[in-house]
Structure 1
Amino acid sequence: MAKKKKSKLESEDLNQKQTDSPEEVKDSEEMSETAETDDNDTDVTAETEIKAEESNLKDEYAELNDRFLRLVAEYDNFRKRSQKEKDFLYSDSVFDVCKAWLPVLDNLDRAIDASEKFVSEESKQMAEGMEMVRRQALEVMSGLGVEMMDCLGERFDPEYHEAVAHVEDDSYGEGEIIDVLQKGYIKGDRVIRYAVVRVAN
């Protein structure tokens, strides 16, 4: 029974196709082709949109990456500039403070030299105490990077020394420093105070 029904339907479908006019068949084919074309257009449009979105994302990434690199470079420059300013301010502060303390050290030296003329036990103990204070002061300054110039016997250098007297003496070399009238101090390559000296020949 089912086979007869199926055969009947196929026969009706075949009869329907045979009864369709050529125009109707043509319209049906055109509709089918149009549907296929629409599907192809949809695929092309979707692919174009994906490529456009991908291109936009790449451009956005490049822009964000460029901004990030610029920010990193700016921060690095800011950090270096800040550190340089900090170092300069620290060095300048140490320079000013140590320069202000130099007269105190000079007075300690004078007091120690004067105490050598006295022979009493009390005077000797006082001189030893002043010498300890002087050594401690020099250690503190050394910890800050400040050093006393050791220029006795060295050749005169106007970058570090100030000559106030000139002596002709063949027992000394040319331009040799034979006496230090006031000690000089230096921090790194900066002179805090020039050494005041006497120079031979």
Structure 2
Amino acid sequence: MSDGLEQEIISEEDGGEAVGKLKKVKEQLKQCQKEKAEYLTGWQREKADFINYKRRQEEQMSEWSRMFGEGLVRDILPVLDTLDASIKSGQGDKDGLVAMRQQLMKILGQHGLTEMESVGQKFSPERHEALEQVEGKEPGMVTEEVLKGYLLNEKVIRVAKVKVSK
């Protein structure tokens, strides 16, 4: 409060009583200002916590979406395997099977699926499962791919089953 207002209050009332009331009002004002600052700080913390919570939820939803996509892709992989086996064996209409496989791979590719290249690569237990060791020029190299390996969004979803040179 301004000094002029304090003097006016004191002059209107009994001096001692007015000073006591003024001190009480000042204390109440300080207490209110302190509470206001605490409430503001608390509100700001809660707002920041909510923003962080919202961000974490969005990340979680994205991760769940990717995981559910992973399950779908795992379920569809045997269809690709059957198509591959049929194409290799020459059964049925090869052109039709090739077209179906390409269409299926295009759809799965839009969801992040890619085939791993294995033949000619160095054997990696993270990407390959060795089914057999065969004679070869360079040891530890994948010489034949028995079953394709796949990546989903850069993550190995299925290792390739391969033959490796001794």
Q: TM-score, normalised by structure 2?
A: 0.81
**Please, which of 133, 149, 152 is the counterpart of residue 100 of structure 2?**
133
What is the DSSP-based 3-state SS (H/G/I as helix, E as strand, rest coil) of the residue aligned with 1:199?
strand
Q: Residue type matched to 2:121 in 1?
A: E
What is the DSSP-based 3-state SS (H/G/I as helix, E as strand, rest coil) of the residue aligned with 1:174?
coil
Show the counterpart of 1:193: 158
What is the DSSP-based 3-state SS (H/G/I as helix, E as strand, rest coil) of the residue aligned with 2:140?
coil
State how 1:133-172 maps to structure 2 within 5 Å. Answer: 133-170=100-137
**Please, which of 53, 56, 64 is the counterpart of residue 89 of structure 1?**
64
CA distance in 2, matches of 1:167, 1:81: 49
CA distance in 1, matches of 2:89, 2:160: 21
What is the DSSP-based 3-state SS (H/G/I as helix, E as strand, rest coil) of the residue aligned with 1:191?
strand
Segments of 4+ in structure 1 off by > 4 A?
none
What is the DSSP-based 3-state SS (H/G/I as helix, E as strand, rest coil) of the residue aligned with 2:146?
strand
> In 1, are the aligned partners of 2:150 and 2:158 still within 8 Å (CA)?
yes
* Cα deviation, residue 47, structure 1: 3.6
* Cα deviation, residue 50, structure 1: 3.8
Q: Deviations over 1:71-129 (max 9, x none)?
A: 213312321332232123212111111111111111111222233x8xxxxx7xx3222
Q: Confirm or deny that 1:61 pairs with 2:28.
A: no
The range that moved more, 130-139 or 66-75, is 66-75
RCO higher in structure (CA 8 A, sep ≥6): 2
More helix by share: 1
- Root-mean-square deviation over aligned CA pairs: 2.3
CA distance in 1, matches of 2:89, 2:131: 23
State how 1:40-51 maps to structure 2 within 5 Å. Answer: 40-41=15-16, 44-51=19-26
CA radius of gyration, larger in: 1
> In 1, are the aligned partners of 2:142 and 2:162 still within 8 Å (CA)?
yes
Unaligned runs of 5+ in 2: 1-9
The count of residues paired between Structure 1 and Structure 2 equals: 156
What is the DSSP-based 3-state SS (H/G/I as helix, E as strand, rest coil) of the residue aligned with 2:28?
helix
Show the counterpart of 2:141: 176
What is the DSSP-based 3-state SS (H/G/I as helix, E as strand, rest coil) of the residue aligned with 1:157?
coil
Q: TM-score, normalised by structure 1?
A: 0.69
Show the counterpart of 2:3: none
* Cα deviation, residue 186, structure 1: 1.4
What is the DSSP-based 3-state SS (H/G/I as helix, E as strand, rest coil) of the residue aligned with 2:45?
helix
* Cα deviation, residue 132, structure 1: 1.6
* Cα deviation, residue 46, structure 1: 4.8
Q: Residue type matched to 1:143 in 2?
A: Q
Q: Deviations over 1:130-154 (max 9, x none)?
A: 2121111111111111111111111
CA distance in 2, matches of 1:199, 1:114: 23
Show the counterpart of 2:81: 106
